[in-house]
Amino acid sequence: MSDSDTHIPGGKLVLVEFDEGIAWVSMNRPEKRNAMNPALNSEMLAVLDALEVDDRCGVVVLTGSGDSYSAGMDLKEFFRESDSLAPEAWHQISRVAQTWQVTRLRHYPKPTIAMVNGWCFGGAFNSLVACDLAIAAEEAIFGLSEVNWGIIPAGNVLKSVAEVMTTRDGLYYTLTGETFDGRKAADMKLVNIAVPKAELRERTRALAKTLLSKNRAAVRAAKHAFRRVEALSWDDSEDYLAAKLDQLRLTDPEGGRNEGMRQFLDAKTYRPGLGGYQRTHKDSDKA
């Protein structure tokens, strides 16, 4: 991290790099395949809180240092060394992990992309699924290996798996403990796409830049709305989305709806389906 970035937490177990509106956030325990321990979880939560209000960050890309995304939870630090803790202390450690890996990422106000560059096992599935989008290296290795240890994928890992994978696929890899690569992950819709590892960062960067080119308020409202309507009835969803649309019109600093209509109906410079309207608001260029 440069001197200008020193007010962002992290720098040890979580690294942050700013790149034209993209915050590349890396879990940084490469010698442990970026296994998540209590210290990393606490640092990551602080980093995400800081990036939420940092104008240099328009999109968060979550990845891992070295050749791994994350091998999951650190078995020694997160489990064995915590066996003697009082229940209250254990729940506090567990709550921090669940907060950033699931709750925080699922409802983060800025778009998030998981970039799976290597090993992705067990508990790492939570942050992978919680991110809005996911890209994997074709060579990446995924696995739900808990059954091989005589345990189950807990900590809401199975909930994450069940949200994006079919019942057959989810049960197969949960019960067998077999691994699979990035191509298979894309086939099963665990990730959006898989590309050769040599192309991974540039493909991820291109996707992030696409998100940055859109109306920020609309992207935020759309992702939150998508998460909410999944659990609603059709009638409740219709009512919620109408209210969300009205809210967006009142809170969008760019006035995107009116500008899009003006460019399409009056100026004839916007063709829906072929890209976004031309953003002219002064805030549109902020990182």
Predicted local distance difference test score (pLDDT) of residue 264: 83
| For residue 211, pLDDT beyond 80 | yes
- Enter the tokens of residue 124: 């790492």
Over residues 201-210, the mean pLDDT reads: 98
| For residue 260, pLDDT beyond 70 | yes
Q: Answer yes or no: are the C-beta atoms of 142 and 178 closer than 8 Å.
A: no
Give dist(CA 160, CA 226) in Å, integer: 16
Question: What is the per-residue pLDDT across 139-168, written as a single tens digit (0 to 9) for each?
Answer: 999 999 999 989 889 889 999 999 999 999
Question: What is the per-residue pLDDT across 233-245, written as a single tens digit (0 to 9) for each?
Answer: 999 999 999 999 9
Distance of CA 270 to the CA centre of its chain: 31
Q: Answer yes or no: are the C-beta atoms of 70 and 35 closer than 8 Å.
A: yes
Predicted local distance difference test score (pLDDT) of residue 286: 46
SS3 252: coil
Tell me which of 233-242, 265-274, 276-285 is least confident.
Answer: 276-285
Helices (H), the chain: 38-52, 87-98, 105-106, 124-130, 157-164, 167-176, 182-187, 200-212, 216-229, 234-251, 256-261
Sign of the C-alpha dihedral, residues 73, 48, 5, 118? Answer: positive
Distance of CA 213 to the CA centre of its chain: 18
Q: How confident is the model at residue 84 (pLDDT cuts 50, 70, 90)?
A: low
Predicted local distance difference test score (pLDDT) of residue 258: 87
HSE on the CB side for 57, CA within 13 Å? Answer: 24
Predicted local distance difference test score (pLDDT) of residue 50: 96
Q: Answer yes or no: are the C-beta atoms of 277 and 267 closer than 8 Å.
A: no
| For residue 284, pLDDT beyond 70 | no
**Between 114 and 265, the higher pLDDT residue:** 114
Predicted local distance difference test score (pLDDT) of residue 3: 39
First to last CA, the chain: 17
| For residue 188, pLDDT beyond 80 | yes
The domain made up of 3-212 has a fold known as 2-enoyl-CoA Hydratase; Chain A, domain 1 (3.90.226)
Predicted local distance difference test score (pLDDT) of residue 33: 96
Helices (H), 131-215: 157-164, 167-176, 182-187, 200-212
φ and ψ at residue 22, rounded to 5 degrees: -100, 130
Distance of CA 231 to the CA centre of its chain: 20
Residue whose pair of structure tokens reads 């007010």 in the numeric block: 7
CA dist list (Å): 142 to 40, 127, 226: 21, 13, 26
143: number of Cβ within 10 Å: 20
* Percentage, residues of the chain above pLDDT 70: 89
Over residues 164-176, the mean pLDDT reads: 97
Q: In one letter, which amino acid is 241? A: L
Question: What is the per-residue pLDDT across 2-44, written as a single tens digit (0 to 9) for each?
Answer: 434 447 877 899 999 999 999 999 999 999 999 999 999 999 9
| For residue 283, pLDDT beyond 60 | no
Q: How confident is the model at residue 279 (pLDDT cuts 50, 70, 90)?
A: confident
- Domain borders along the chain are 3-212, 216-285
